Structure formats: structure tokens, C-alpha cells
Amino acid sequence: MQSALLLFFSLTVLYVVQKVLAYWKATRAIHNFPGRRLLFSPASLLGNFLPKIEYINAGRNQLFVFKHEPFEKVGWDIHSAISLFPSIRTAIVLADAQAIKEVTSSRARFPKPVHHYRSLTFFGRNIVASEGAEWKKYRKISAPAFSDRNNALVWEESIKTVQGMFMDVWGDRDVISVDHCVEITLPIALFIIGAAGFGRSISWKADDIKPAGYTMTFKEALHTVTTNVFIKLAVPRWAMGLTETFRQTDIAYDELHRYMADMIHERQSAEKVERHDLFSQLLEANDNNLDMTALTESELIGNIYIFLVAGHETTAHTLCFTFAMLALHPDEQEKLYEHIKSVLVDGADPTYEQMPLLTYSNAVFYETLRMFPPVTGIPKMAAEDTTLTTTNVLGETTTVAIPKGTDVTLNVPGLHYNPRYWEDPHTFNPSRFLKDWPRDAFIPFSAGARACIGRKFFETEGIAILTMLVSHYKITVKGDPKFAGETFEQRKERVLACRAGLTVTPLHVPLTFTRR
């Protein structure tokens, strides 16, 4: 018994000594640059579960919750983070616009760590989970699909989808209240990605047909896939039959895959017809690729799936936050409404050609993206021993050592709330985007060569939906007797509460839409 205890004690001491030596080596490698020293890695299971505990854990959704605060504590717009468990991890976290620009412009020095994205390849290899020559191939074939013709289709389908909601769902009611705004924005985004992404018009009415061999309509499969993506990512294959929700998710993924495969075969064998939806244009670009790098069916499906997931949730959540901010700031909503009226003649619906004129719609959308960036942390890694330079509020500079293999995180909220670039960053002020603004300090779509390929698709859809809704309805926070005595700050905190997900996810945004 004593021998066993001695062995256990010896192994424990050896383990602790190894950890201490590894920690000492890690801090020395970065010249002990200031920052966080944590027991648990923010990327670990415990790190995502535990709240913020000094020296123990950074806290859930920590990049969005703390924004620029960690940088203010160290006095620089770069800080380090070293954690012990489950293994020693060193990270350099950036909220410095010039340092971020250097990282995003230097893909050889700071490549994307694609191993973080393996879970997104279950439909096939794709543009998000790739780097180097493979990524270049996907980018070359995908880029032509995101054309001006497709953007015009996105606008047209966005207007049509909102018109359909007004007529088929809201009808002649003058006041519509929803318990959570995503009840509106998720289906809107779903219908638009169905039409502009796949060329499959989806109605607000339940009139879809299930083809032979399918248990779900295309609409049902698409909705389940986009809603339950986290189940697919987190639950192992063998466990997908354990609950009804898991089973339905598994069926939806299988049937959406078959729908997409059927669409590929149908379009490839059919007579050529000019189509502007994303799926058709991707197939056309692939067919026209003559240098022996055409995508396989698996790669085609993998890439269109990524565009689907990225485009659906990002749009829905950003619009939800946008409507919440306008409800909380009626003066800004009125400015937007008056601007829209000045652009649209006799209350007509906006056209794609008028999009450049809707400057305040764009400003409101951008301000929401600044304050609620869909992705809070953009991962990179150092492929070699290198350095970055940062500046503090006094204009002093310092050089940060970055050893090979170090995680480099672009802290999007840290940058977007950095007072060096944004005056009064915690205030909702869309007009800041109507004058000269710091473009290098605005990265909701990432930056550099790896910036979001679907940015224009997303902006077109968002501005069309925003303009349509505000031109027809006034948005307010839904009344609730439970919160009758709350202050503005309490209401703001309640309505804007969110959690981490694939994107920053609003928890409960109760709104009322009143016909103008």
C-alpha cells in the first residue's frame, strides 16, 4: 500500500514539475509579455463551461463579454494568454488594427489552423476547412458564383420573402408581437438562401411536396439542418439514434445531401438554362474550369453546405440584433425611416439599383455588425518564429515575440470596441459610418485573402430586409408587466442578452411591429 502511495506521489510530483517547466518555457518564449495566465484553456470543455474565475478560467463567451477590457488592463492592444490544461497552450490575442492587417496579409506566416474546422467537413471538403492550394482551388471556382447577377437575385428574393410574410403571415393585422425576433428572421433567411442559394422557391405556406423516397420536404430538411447544426457537430455518429431530435437531425442531413446530389445530376443532365442562383452558378463555374481542378460531387456539396450554414444563421442573428437596437433607440429608427422615405418614391418597394442610395440602412447594418460581430475570434497560427508590433494609447510601441506554433487570435469585439479607433464604442451610433471611418478596424467578415466570400450576398440580403421592414412597420420592445419598472440599461441588458454559438446568438428578443 505504501509503495503504491509513494508511486502515486512520485508521479504527481513529476507531472507537476513537467507542467511548471513547460509553463516557464512558454512564458520565456514570449518574453513574459503581459496577459492572462490560466489553469484551463478557453478552448477546452471546462473552459467553455466554467464562468470567469481569476487565474482559473477566462469565462464563457469571453471575447464578446469582455471586449476591449483585457487590453486596457495590460496597456497594449496585444495581450498573451497561457493556459496549463489540458495541455500548455500559448496564444497571442490581437485588437490592434495594424497588427491584424499584417497577420491577414501574411498568409504564409500566419496560416489558418484548418484542424479547428474538421468537424465542418462531414458533407465534403470545403473553402472554410482548407488552406494553401486546396483553398485556392475552392476560391477560384466559388468566386464567380458570387456575382452581381446573384446579388440582384438575392435582393429580388429578399423583397419577395418579406412581402410574402406581410401578406401570408401578418395579413391585415396592424400590430404583430413576437416573443423572440428570430421567429421572424430565421425563416426569412432560410427562404432567401433556398431561392437565391439553391434556386428553390420556398413559400410561407406549407405547400411543399415530398418526392418519392423522402420523409422530409426540401424546406423541412433545410430548416432542420440549419437549426440543429450544433447537434451534428457535437453528437457522435453512433449516438444519433438516441433521441427523436437526434434522429430527425440525422435524417435531415441525409436527405438534404440527397436533395443536393439530385440537383447536381438534374442540372448537369438538363438543357442549359440561364440561372443566377448560387448553386447553379457554382456548377457552371465548375463545368467551365478547364485546368483539371474541377470539384468532385462531394466537394461541390461540401462547399454549398458551408455557404448555406454561414449565410443562414449569420443573417438571421444580425437582423435580430439590428431590430433590437432600433427598438431600443427610437430616435435612430426614426432617422432611418425618414432616410428610407427620402429614397423611395411614393412608398414603392426598394429596388436593387437603389441599394447604393440607402446609406443609412447600410450604416445601421454596419453599426450592428460592429457591436455584435457574428464571429468573435478568428484563429490563425504562427508558422515560424516571428514578431508583431503594437502601440498603446500614449503612442508608444513595443515588439511582441511570437514563437512558431503559437495560436494567434484576432479578437473582433476587442477591435470593434477599441476606443483608439471608435469614439464612444459602447454607444449605438450608425452615423459614424456616414463619414470617414477606420476600415482596418472593422472585420466582421474577417480580412485579407481569407475574408468572407459571401459578404456582398449577406449585405444585400440584410439591407433589403431591413429597409422593407422599417419602411412598413415601427419596431418597439414588446411590453411585459414583469419589467414595468426597469431602467433603460436594464431593458437593454435583457433584450440584448446573448450566448456563444456558431455565431453570437441572441437569447430572447421580444419585439412588437406596428404598421406605419
Counts for the chain of helices (H) and strands (E), in that order: 19, 12
8 Å CB contact between 379 and 113: yes
* Half-sphere exposure for 229 (CA within 13 Å, toward CB): 19
Query: How many CB atoms lie under 10 A from the CB of residue 15?
Result: 10
CA distance 409 to 423: 24
CA distance 161 to 123: 28
Among all chains, which residue has been given the C-alpha cell 454607444? 427
Question: Is 498 labeled as ligand-binding?
Answer: no
Among all chains, which residue has been given the C-alpha cell 432617422? 335
86: preceding bond cis by omega (within 30 degrees): yes
Query: For residue 513, what are the β-bridge partners?
Result: 176, 475
405: left (phi over 0), alpha (psi -120 to 50) or beta: left
Helix axes 278-287, 132-142, angle to 10 degrees: 110
> Which residues have C-beta within 8 Å of that of residue 344, sequence separation ≥ 6?
350, 354, 471
For residues 218, 219, 223, 229, the Cα torsion angle rounded to the nearest 10 degrees is 10
Residue ranges for the binding site for heme?
452
